[in-house]
Amino acid sequence: MCGIVGYVGDRSAQGVVIDGLRRLEYRGYDSAGIALIADGRSGARGDQQGKLAVDKRAGKLANLEKAIADTPLPASTTGIGHTRWATHGGPTDGNAHPHVGRTGRVAVVHNGIIENFAELRASLEADGHEFASQTDTEVAAHLLEREVVGGADLTIAMQKVCSVLEGAFTFVAIDAEDPSRVVAARRNSPLVVGLGEGESFLGSDVAAFIEHTREALELDQDQVVTITREGATVTNFDGTPAEGRRFHVDWDLAAAEKDGHDWFMRKEILEQPRAVADSLLGRRTPSGSLHLDEMRLDDDELREVTKIIIIAAGTSFYAGMVAKYAIEHWCRISVEVELASEFRYRDPILDNSTLVVAISQSGETADTLQAIRHARSQRSKVLAICNTNGSTIPRESDAVIYTHAGPEIGVASTKGYVTQLVACYLLALYLAQVKGTMYGDEIDGVMTQLEAMPAAVSKVLETAPQVYDLAREYADRRAFLFLGRHAGYPVALEGALKLKELAYLHAEGFAAGELKHGPIALVEEGLPIWCIVPPRGRDFLHDKMRSGIMEVRARGARTIALVEEGDDSVDSVSDTIIRLPKVPVLLQPLVAVVPLQLFACQLATELGYDVDQPRNLAKSVTVE
Ligand code: F6R
């Protein structure tokens, strides 16, 4: 997720901003930039007092630092900076933030997605505005500048502009003609204020400024904050006064980067409601139809598709298994799901009526990359589902759905996985729209159910204390089983993979119907078995799952059942019940996986392992 820094005070803004960006590097990024208001004391760029000086570079912060060292920025005590994780537009110098308005008077940095940017950009273009980037952010720079040129101060301009924007965003902006203030706003995106002596700071999180001050101010949603040397003033978007919540930061830097958690993985699990919401943003056009991020395939080509092959590795493969249930059910197209590492070695049957869907969080997995190259050489079209804008797999694909989870730092995929699930559902609905296998109102209905999922994921996160207790209770076990059916089966596989990766335990996932075909022989007294019970909507599945639970319990297993609210039918055959919110059967993986992630994270913590960097594993597997 992007890193944001803002500063006003008496120090060199360049130093504070670059240091802050360095502290936020852990968030992951693909370009970096800075904007300062020249104070007229010096400058090698011919900048004058009251003018903006901006530099921004693709790649690492070191690229920006080198550019500044080669051509120094003017002296300044007011500035903003940004490390960008590309969403709209690839990771280039031009798309890097800050962006400036039409006359270069206002500069802005942004985290999030402006859903209605296309309409706003079209109307600005109709008024003669020209845009230098492919970003949604530049629209905000033009809108803010139009307001200040029209006489509003930057705070009022921010209130007005935010009121017309849809989506999730944090903005931090400066006006060259008012170096006394930096103005920021937030809606469903992180922002925190640092309050020093005669200086104030803004950051995506406190890591940006804790070396300068530990006094901080937290904002609510839909608020604007103006920082000056004297402090901070908060308003709501409608201009009414508001108050932030003061707090003292007592974390060290390492904890601050993790929002006070012990592991990035735990932080990322807890970020999932936000990640799911972000992955749904901006998917519907004003006319209500669905659209994908990058589409180099036309609808006629998609209508010709008769078979889909999903290729992926590890956790992404399990997301692909869930996609099969959704696509086949909603689109009536047959779907194969294949491990990327096996795909091209079996001489797969491919032609131009086959759509290959490659799922990869990193976008760099060598097995998946080689598989899509093979598919394209056989004239199949490739659609990528990916979290990393500008990575190789989306670049080499014909269409892309970005998952918008933000960078995932823990090696084990969590928010990457749930947002892959969302992207798979979106793809299924998109194909249903193009092929006409669902009515528009049915698609709307599922979109509404999906839009309720961030709240459902938040609800299931409330089970964390119960799950952590279980992890402590079972910390001495060396083996676990996971059972699921239908869309719960891949969740069982994912739950087992998480335990293997993090706690180095023998863990297996099975389709519950397969028990009697072999795995039941593994069941012995005290073996913990996680059972993912399908929602009641599929009663025949539900009842079969209940029989499976009874079978293993009769053989001495300790059963831990994930069951939807209001379903007490397995209570008598379960040692532990964890309640899931009521959701449709196809969407259940989004909530059912969460306790399994929490369990693996906690069990590995109990065993003293490094949860973020499990042994022998790498985040991006770039060799076959
Ligand atoms: C598991 C995990 C791995 C990845 C796999 C594919 O927690 O992270 O199994 O899912 O290596 O990686 P991507 O999705 O980057 O292609």
Tell me, yes or no, whether 269 and 246 share the same domain.
no
Going through 220-299 in order, the beta strands assigned E by DSSP cover 223-228, 231-236, 241-242, 245-248, 294-295
**Ligand 1: which residue has its CA nearest to atom 7?**
412
Q: Give yes or no: residues 192 and 320 share one domain.
A: no
Ligand 1 in reach of 313 Cβ (< 6 A): yes
**Angle between helices 588-606 and 464-473 in degrees, nearest 10:** 50
My answer on whether 109 and 232 are in the same domain is: yes
Q: Are both 214 and 340 inside the same structural domain?
A: no
Instruction: Determine, yes or no, domain membership for 619.
Output: no
Q: Residue 148 is part of a domain; what is its CATH number?
A: 3.60.20.10
Query: Which pLDDT score is estimated for 432?
Result: 95
Q: Are strands 245-248 and 381-386 parallel, antiparallel or unpaired?
A: unpaired
Which residue, 250, 279, 306, sits at the end of a domain?
250
- Residue 621 CA: which ligand 1 atom is closest? 11
Give how many domains the chain has, as a whole number.
Answer: 2
Residue 613 falls inside a structural domain:
no
> Is the minimum distance from the CB of 366 to ligand 1 under 6 angstroms?
no
Flag whether 89 is in a domain. yes
Give catalytic residues, as residue numbers: 2, 619
Q: Which atom of ligand 1 is nearest to the CA of 315?
A: 10
φ, ψ dihedrals at 320, nearest 5°: -65, -35
Residues 54 and 132 in one domain: yes
Query: Where does a domain end: 184, 215, 250?
Result: 250
Q: What is the CATH number of the domain that holds 525?
A: 3.40.50.10490
Evaluate whether residue 615 is within a structural domain: no
Rounded to two decimals, the pTM is: 0.81
Please indicate, yes or no, whether residues 284 and 215 belong to a single structural domain of this protein: no
Q: Say if residue 596 is exposed, middle or buried (CB neighbours under 10 Å; 0-12, 13-18, 19+).
A: buried
Verify whether ligand 1 is closer than 6 Å to residue 419 (CB atom). no
pLDDT along the chain (624 residues), means of 10: 91 96 85 92 56 94 95 95 88 94 96 90 95 94 97 97 92 96 91 95 90 91 96 96 87 78 95 94 84 82 94 98 97 96 90 95 92 94 90 90 88 97 96 94 95 98 98 97 97 98 96 93 96 87 93 96 96 97 97 98 97 84 72
User: Is residue 179 situated within a structural domain?
Assistant: yes
Based on the fold, state whether residues 479 and 573 are members of the same structural domain.
yes
The pLDDT, as a whole number, for residue 41 is: 60
Q: Which two tokens stand for residue 239?
A: 């201009």
Do both 417 and 454 map to the same domain? yes
361 belongs to a structural domain: yes
**454: domain range?**
264-607
In this structure, how many other beta carbons lie within 10 angstroms of the beta carbon of residue 254? 10
Q: Does one domain contain both 245 and 281?
A: no
User: Alpha-carbon torsion 4, 64, 197, 225, what sign?
Assistant: negative
Examine residue 561 and state whether it is found in any structural domain, yes or no: yes
In terms of domains, do 376 and 498 share one? yes
Q: Which of 263, 316, 417 to mutate to test the pocket of ligand 1 (most atoms within 8 A of CB)?
A: 316
